[in-house]
Amino acid sequence: MNTYDRFVRKAGKLAYVLSAAFLIAALLVNAVPAAPALARVVVGDTGDTEGNIPICHRNLSGAYVPESPNVNALYHAHYSTHPLADYYPSFTFEGITYPGHAHTDPNFITNGCVESTPTDVPTDVPTDVPTDVPTDVPTDVPTDVPTDVCNNIDGVQTAVPAGLILVGGACIAPAIPVTGGQVLIPVTGVDGGPGRFGSQGLFLASIAFFGLGLVLNGYGRKHEEDNL
């Protein structure tokens, strides 16, 4: 056996060793328990853990779209991050009742985030309209009109309220930082840690090195037989 054959055979053995190492690592990573999903919470006092609450969510373009999150997602993804941007009813989360954010139209949420059209429009138009228009109309119009900096809050806000930040013309609550090793998605509770995907990559690497070992050993054995 010459030096080249010995190198090929050693490389094949090394590939087997690496294949076994990656396989063991994949098994160890896969054995690590995944982060638990977020605990289900009770909607109101009914004991319903799957109930959805209809709301009107304000998207980045400023339009309101209907959504139906559960109470867990309503608290974490809407109330805690932008309590005054969306419209939603009052709700109970972990034993605490939180006030809703109502639209001036009481049917705004049930109408799919569209304002109701008034039906009681008077049809009797008065005919005795006065024709004598006053001529002493004041011409001095005030110029110091206050500027509303929060277009998502009723009334004129000349400054950003305490505890809120200005984002795209809307005054919203700042995001709450999340700490810890695992990242949980509040709506689904999906584990975002490395265990789910890391073990797949390690397992594929183990298969690749095993196949490389088979190729190198087969090539080395054939090359050795041809030299005999």
Are both 72 and 166 inside the same structural domain?
yes
Instruction: For 187-198, write each residue's pLDDT tens digit.
Output: 444 444 445 556
Q: Of the ranges 130-139, 145-154, 179-188, which one carries the lowest mean pLDDT score?
A: 179-188
Examine residue 93 and state whether it is found in any structural domain, yes or no.
yes
Asked whether residue 22 falls in the same domain as residue 68, the answer is no
d(CA 165, CA 150): 10
In the predicted structure, residue 223 carries a pLDDT above the cut 80: no
46 shares a domain with 101: yes
Looking at the domain assignment, is residue 47 inside a domain? yes
Tell me: do 204 and 169 sit in the same domain.
no
Phi and psi torsions of 214, nearest 5°? -60, -45
The verdict on residue 82 lying in a domain is yes
Please indicate, yes or no, whether residues 19 and 91 belong to a single structural domain of this protein: no
- CA 126 centroid distance within chain: 55
Question: Is 137 a member of any domain?
Answer: no
Residues 87 and 8 in one domain: no
CA-CA distance, 156 to 65, in Å (whole number)? 24
Tell me if 53 is assigned to some domain.
Answer: yes
Residues 72, 15 within the same domain:
no
* Helix orientation angle between 3-31 and 195-227, rounded to the nearest 10 degrees: 160
Are both 67 and 163 inside the same structural domain?
Answer: yes
Residue 34 near residue 196, CB atoms below 8 Å: yes
pLDDT of residue 102: 92
Number of domains in the chain: 2
Residues 52 and 107 in one domain: yes
Give the Cα separation of 158 and 181 in Å (integer).
Answer: 41
Are residues 174 and 105 part of one domain?
yes
Give CA–CA dist 99/117, Å, rounded: 27
Q: Give the pLDDT confidence score for residue 39 in this predicted structure.
A: 39
3-state secondary structure of 105: coil
Dump pLDDT digits (tens) for 28-50.
877 766 554 443 433 333 333 44
> Looking at the structure, do residues 170 and 89 belong to the same domain, yes or no?
yes
96 and 167 inside one domain: yes
What does pTM read for this prediction?
0.33
Which range marks the domain in which residue 215 is found? 3-34+193-227
Reported as half-sphere exposure (CB side, CA atoms, 13 A), residue 123 has a value of 2
Burial 16-28 (b: 16+ CB within 10 A, else e): bebbeebbebbee
In a domain, 101, yes or no: yes
